[in-house]
Every structure is written in C-alpha cells, then in structure tokens.
Structure 1
C-alpha cells in the first residue's frame, strides 16, 4: 500500500503561499516586461527558453506521497495527475470518511510520463558519474555569433563587447569543446566544425558532464518535467540555481551587458579564464547536491524500475 504524509489545510496553504511569493520575485518582473514589449537578455531566459510558463511554475505541488486535506484541496481532483482518496485509504490514515483529501496519482503520472522519468534518470545519474570538465570558458556563446555578419543576428538588440572581428578572433584563438547539444545546436554554421565534439540528441546521454553550465541549468528542466510528482520546493531550488548560472553564462558571453547590471567575465584574458573556472567549479558543486536530491526524489516519487533505466542507458 502506498505510504502517505498528511498536511492539514493551514499547513499546506502556508507552503503554497510561500511558494507563490518565491516565484513572484522572478515571474512578476518578466510578465511586466512582456506586457510592455521589453526584453531582458538574462532574466527572461528561464521563461522563454524553457517550456515551463510562469503560471505553471506558480502552481504549488506537494509531490507524490503527500495528502492534502480540506475543501480547498478538493479542487485539485480535476488537476492532471491528481486523485481523490477513497474512504478505505482515509480509514487507513485515521481520517474520517468523507473528508476532502487529494494526492498525486502516481499510477496515472507514470502511465503518461514513464519515458520522461526514465530519460531524466539516465541523464541525471550519467552526468553525475562523469568527471567534470572545466576548460570550455563559456565559448559556446561566442560560437553562436561567430561570423554573425554572414548570418541572422542573435540578440540583435545587444552589442558585442569586442565587436565582430574581436569576437571572431577569440573563437579562432581558443579550443572549443562544448559537450552540450542544446548549446551546440545554436552555433553559427561556420562555428559548428570548430567544435572538437559533435553533440547530438542521440549521444546526449553519453556526453553530459557536471562541469557544464548548461547541464547544470537543465536541472530545472528535469525537475519541472517531473511535476507534479516532485515537490515544488525542489523545483524552485533548481530554478534559482539555473537563474544564477544564466547570469554567469551571460557575463562570460561576448555581449556588452554592463548597462544591464552584468559586468563582464573577460574570458579572452588569463585572469578572466581563471575567474570563469572558479565560478564554474562552485556551481558544479552546488549542482551536484541538487542532482543527487533530484535523483533521490525521482526514485521516491516514481519507483522507476532499474531494468527500464538500464535499457534506456544503453539504447
């Protein structure tokens, strides 16, 4: 029988309000900018690149294995991957028959999302098992604008800190070895052959490594893709790490963002490279803790079977 923890209305509604306040600090300014037709090169990213929208992020979930009591919880019975407890389950928890009580429907969630669960587990555990690489210096962002005068401008409202020729020279003078497909796929055509690796969606599970800023930002993606089975507090911990990693990623980019409040990490210099690696290592340590929490929560919430993971890892 499934094991539950139980939250009374005042308990879970306090958690819900705290979560919504936490989300609002990030979502409200983005929504205001969007309404005004303004862009922010750093702080819009998590809402525009990733598929989780502010309204979805604001919706609080306790995670699988938690029962929410009270009439306000009853509205969740119509939410996807939620269910109402029957009187037999209520009796087993010492709760009076007829009490409004809902929980995440593990079976329905797994029926719909098993492939996503298994793939996330493969990525999370595979990444954790590999040695971290700290020699990329954020050059993926530079490769995305290499020879940009020949191609469509990326972030056309931003200026390049070193100009086009200076940016191109940094790309040409450095070794580029990006392991992350979702960065590599945005390279300009002229930059693509300069990368020493050829990341693809198919080899992603073999290449992801824990020093990569984008792999660490993607902890947020894996967390929200497992909503509502994972608790929203964990999702937001991943979101906030991703937010800070994005800020570093853009500080090290070729763009001049000083007027936006983001002074550059000058990776074209030895001191800048050292600064980048120090920050990258610190984020890798933070991400390792979150990656471990995510993996543990995934298994607790879904009880994904090892044989499915082994098959997906070798597929």
Structure 2
C-alpha cells in the first residue's frame, strides 16, 4: 500500500518489495551474464565496457531505490546504507545530507544536460572515435588486442586519414592516439563539456547512464535502468562500427557496420538518429530530476 503524507510518499514492504523484485528481474540477464564471465575469467569487448569503464558495480545497479522524497517501511534492507536515514517509526528515506553532498554535481549536470539538449544533433561522425583510438598502433597495443582489426593496421589507418573526424566528446577524444589527436577538428576538454556535447553523440547517450548512477539513490532506480538499457544498445552499435572484427562473438551477434562504405555510413547515421530520439526523454527526465533536487535543497 502507498500512503501519502504532507511531507512524503510512504511505501509499505509489499509495495516496494514488488517494485524491487521487478527491477532485479529486469536487470538479471545483463548482470548474471557479466558475473558469470567475470568468475570464468572471460572478457567481452562489448559488454565489459558497461562494468569496466563505468564504475557502478553490479550489486549497486541491481539494488532498487525509489529516489529522494519517498519513505520506505524498512525490513533492514536499507538500514545502514550510505545516504539513507531512519525515522522514529523505523521507516527510511534518502537523507537530505546526501542531497547536500550532491549539490555541486547537480548544478554541473543541470548545465551539461540543458546545454546538450539545446544543441542540434549531428549524425555524421560515423563512429570514427573508435578508429582514432587505434590509429597507427600495432595489434598488441590496441585496447581489445584479442580481436583483430577488420581491415588490418594499414587499412584502418587509411580510413582515419581519409575522413574528417569531428569528435565532440572529451571522454572519447582523450583516448585518441597521439598521432590521431591533431586530426580531430575539435579539441574538447574536461572543463568545457557543456560547450561541446551534442545529443547525436553516442557517448553522450551512453553517459546518461553515468549521470543517473552518479545521482543514485537520489533518483529512481527505474530511471537508472532505462539509461543502462540505452547504454547497452548504443555500445553494441559503437563496437559494430568499430575497426574490430568481432566475428564469432556470441554466435556472430555483432555483424560489422562497415562505416568505410556508403551503405555502412547510411546504416550508422540512421541508427545514431534513432538513439538520439531514444535518449531525448531520458535526458529530459534527468534534467527534471536535477531541477527537482536543487529545488528541494532550497526549500
């Protein structure tokens, strides 16, 4: 049962327990497969990114939380967790202290999300950031050295050199090889993300997941899961369009998007546009959460 008081919404054990179970069931296919690979010492060039590059642990992603402003009848699940506080009646809620801790992050994210949403989307980068990350490297020096380059080293370098590279995302650009950096028409930096990021960028779409989990448990777990699922799908395209040959991985689940061809460019741009459309409401939801939480700080 849900009870609404003047201050906050209160969820009983049965209500929030059902929501938590649904959340765990939703994410189990991703998390269980990752944990099984990790136990077996197996690496996955597509899915590992979501648990390696991004710092949110599987146990954290699996844990359901309602967000700031909702009080839970607690059975011991939340007692003692960082960011929660208990009331005299034994119920728990995300603390105002945690909200205060996140003030700077909330302000920064509000600016970044609003600036990104206000820009027109560009769909002509063709995923060349992944190619620039291996430009002029030997096979044993690339990030996923166990997987060969589809066109070989010279063929990969030729693709980079024959295209205009205009990466707007600092966290992609910073992994360019030294010879590739001058080839980028832009020079994004860590301090000016809000001046460069645009909604068509695959990495900006994946990073909605990062923004969501960095605000957890202030924002609802359902929103974090929505952003995670988007990141899974974007990462798939990211690696399909990369220079790596993933033939045989997961029964050939990642056929290449050959961005060095006209048809490959068309396929990539269409998929990128679809991801831009999917990301827009999630970006808006995160921005609304930032606004709501900053308003709560001033209340």
Equivalence map 1:192-207=2 (5 Å) = 192-207=181-196
2:72 counterpart SS class = strand
Equivalence map 1:1-315=2 (5 Å) = 3-70=7-74, 72=75, 74-86=76-88, 99-105=89-95, 107-149=96-138, 152-260=141-249, 261-303=253-295
Cα distance, 1:114 vs. partner?
Answer: 1.1
2:191 counterpart SS class = coil
Distance, in Å, in 1 between the alignment partners of 2:279 and 2:44 is 25
| Length, aligned pairs only | 291
1:201–1:83 Cα change, 3 Å: same
Q: Point out where structure 1 has 5 or more consecutive residues left out of the alignment.
A: 87-98, 307-315
Distance, in Å, in 1 between the alignment partners of 2:6 and 2:99 is 14
TM-score normalised by the chain length of structure 1: 0.89
Structure 1 stretches of 4+ with a deviation exceeding 4 A read: none
Cα distance, 1:245 vs. partner?
Answer: 0.2
CA contact (8 A) 1:2 1:65 kept: no
1:23–1:57 Cα change, 3 Å: same
1:103 counterpart SS class = strand
User: Equivalent residue for 1:311?
Assistant: none
Distance, in Å, in 1 between the alignment partners of 2:204 and 2:6 is 33
1:158 counterpart SS class = coil
Moved more, 134-143 or 107-116: 107-116
Distance, in Å, in 2 between the alignment partners of 1:78 and 1:200 is 38
RMSD: 1.7
User: Equivalent residue for 1:312?
Assistant: none
Cα distance, 1:298 vs. partner?
Answer: 2.5
TM-score normalised by the chain length of structure 2: 0.93
Distance, in Å, in 1 between the alignment partners of 2:121 and 2:142 is 32
